[in-house]
Homo-oligomer: A and B are copies of this chain.
Amino acid sequence: MARNTQVAADHNAPPVTDILARHVADHPSRGWSDAVEVEAHRTFMNWLGCAVGAARHDAADAALAAVAMLQPAPQATVLGRAERVDMASAALVNGITSHTFDFDDTHLKTIIHPAGPVASALLALAEVTGASGRRLIDALVLGIDVSCRVGNAMYPDHYDRGWHITGSTGTVGAAAGCARLLGLGASQTAMALGIAASQPVGMREQFGTMTKPFHPGGAARAGLMAALMARHGYTASLRALEAPRGMMQTISSKCDWREISHELGQRFEISFNSYKPFACGIVIHPAIDACAQLRARGVTPDQVERIELKVHSLVLELTGKKEPADGLQAKFSVYHGCAAGLTFGQAGEPEFADDVVTRPDMVTLRRKVVATVDEAIDEASADVTAVLTDGRRVHVFIEHAIGSLQNPMTDAQLDAKFHSLTDPVLGAQASGRLIAACRGVDGMADLRALVALSVPA
């Protein structure tokens, strides 16, 4: 790995900060297709489910204990919990929980998880300011458009260098969204982007620790505060993103400015958002999907003598752990993924629990998986054959796993994922009401009813 690439500074960058600020401030409310609008709602709901689902995680407890030392005003909701805190701290904690299970949304072109920073900042701010659901969705679309376009311009060099691109672009996206929600004009929006541009968050070395989910949380908090400061007259450079010593050139060797303005206002990056059906790295998803389809065809674990799995070499490189000892290791085991798919038909957070991973029937089933590399198979695909004890062979080929852009999760599947995350926290009935609220959020005069449904009774 080479840490850097020799690139001359670009003194002639277009006025990216100003271009994005005008886009955010001036684009008409709901000025996009129905498909964009639908995806915005799906993004919001998926983010909310992830945050509620991880609300009781140790990371949330530790962050909230730190926040409690500030004696925060009870302004805003901590999703899935009884505590109320100031809006900046709510943005922080909800950003953390939304990414804790690594189960949130993915903008596949940049592997940004865009909702964490943007939606976490927006919901907290909207709750305090009494903003409508319509304003929230507008701000979500535009905030995510900013963070993903900045990401498009810098990816992959910026990521390769060591930045966790979700947090580094997320501060700017959150500031953009909050500026829109506050109704700032283009020049104050540019100041918000500028203040945010001095605060990229997140290094990849933190993967595997609580600081990974801190990144979207920290970005949400920083972006929200940047917008509040800009609203009250705080100033920044109008070329904070693009100048030679501005954010993008400082943190990335690649800065493709065309990515900022290409089809701006016509194409919205939220359209390319995807949602994970399984609570693990995307490279195992085709194999899990294939085994879940075996189960749907009536194959049961006790019938199985052997599962022949053919995959791309990357799958075994990254997730080749044969005998995972706990839930975290199981997330790097395509063998466990297959066993979970065949046994449960799903692989959410519960199917990666330590006590599931160590169950004797799971250990036995994992050992029946024979994985081989097949160079003809794409990394987005998997070829699975169940060889049964009676000699029958049942074959499934997955070209694009569920959750990919080519094969997106249906609304019903998103509902099921949401329930699997939130039912243990809120109960099934409240979860159902919360789904309905998310689906109708654009019609809400304010967000009070929605956030009230997001806390345990």
Q: Which of A180-216 contact B (CB under 8 A)?
A: 194-195, 197-206, 208-211, 214-215
Contact of A4 among B4, B65, B66, B206 (CB under 8 A): B4
Contact B75 A73 (CB under 8 A): no
Contact A234 B59 (CB under 8 A): yes
List, in ascending order, chain B residues with CB within 8 A of A245's CB.
Answer: 162, 203-205
- Of all chain B residues, the one with the shortest Cβ separation from A159 is B245
A88, A199, A231, A253: residue with the most chain B Cβ atoms closer than 10 Å: A199
In the assembled complex, A63 has its CB within 8 A of some CB on chain B: yes
In the assembled complex, A313 has its CB within 8 A of some CB on chain B: no
Q: Which of A294-350 contact B (CB under 8 A)?
A: none
Question: Oligomeric state, in number of copies?
Answer: 2
Contact of A235 among B163, B210, B244 (CB under 8 A): B210
User: What is the distance, in angstroms, from A312's C-beta to the closest C-beta of chain B?
Assistant: 24
Which residues of A approach B to under 8 Å, CB–CB?
A: 1-9, 58-59, 61-63, 65-66, 69-73, 75, 86-88, 128, 161-164, 167, 194-195, 197-206, 208-211, 214-215, 218, 222, 225, 228-229, 231-237, 239-240, 243-247, 249-251, 253
- Given contacts A167-B198, A198-B202, 6 further A-B pairs with CB under 8 A are A3-B6, A3-B249, A71-B73, A163-B250, A203-B246, A210-B235
CB contact under 8 A between A240 and B63, given known A70-B73, A198-B167: no
Please list the 3 inter-chain residue pairs (A to B) with the smallest Cβ-Cβ separation, ordered nearest first: A162-B250, A71-B73, A162-B245
A203, A211, A232: residue with the most chain B Cβ atoms closer than 10 Å: A203
User: What is the distance, in angstroms, from A15's C-beta to the closest C-beta of chain B?
Assistant: 13
List, in ascending order, chain B residues with CB within 8 A of A197's CB.
Answer: 203, 205
User: What is the distance, in angstroms, from A257's C-beta to the closest C-beta of chain B?
Assistant: 15
A-B CB contact pairs (8 Å), 20 listed: A2-B9, A3-B8, A3-B9, A4-B7, A59-B234, A69-B87, A70-B86, A70-B87, A73-B73, A162-B250, A167-B198, A195-B211, A198-B201, A199-B201, A200-B200, A203-B247, A204-B245, A209-B236, A214-B234, A218-B222
Contact of A69 among B4, B228, B235 (CB under 8 A): B228
CB contact under 8 A between A199 and B228, given known A86-B71, A163-B250, A194-B206: no
List, in ascending order, chain B residues with CB within 8 A of A228's CB.
Answer: 66, 69
List, in ascending order, chain B residues with CB within 8 A of A163's CB.
Answer: 250
List, in ascending order, chain B residues with CB within 8 A of A9's CB.
Answer: 1-3
List, in ascending order, chain B residues with CB within 8 A of A128's CB.
Answer: 69
User: What is the distance, in angstroms, from A68's C-beta to the closest C-beta of chain B?
Assistant: 9
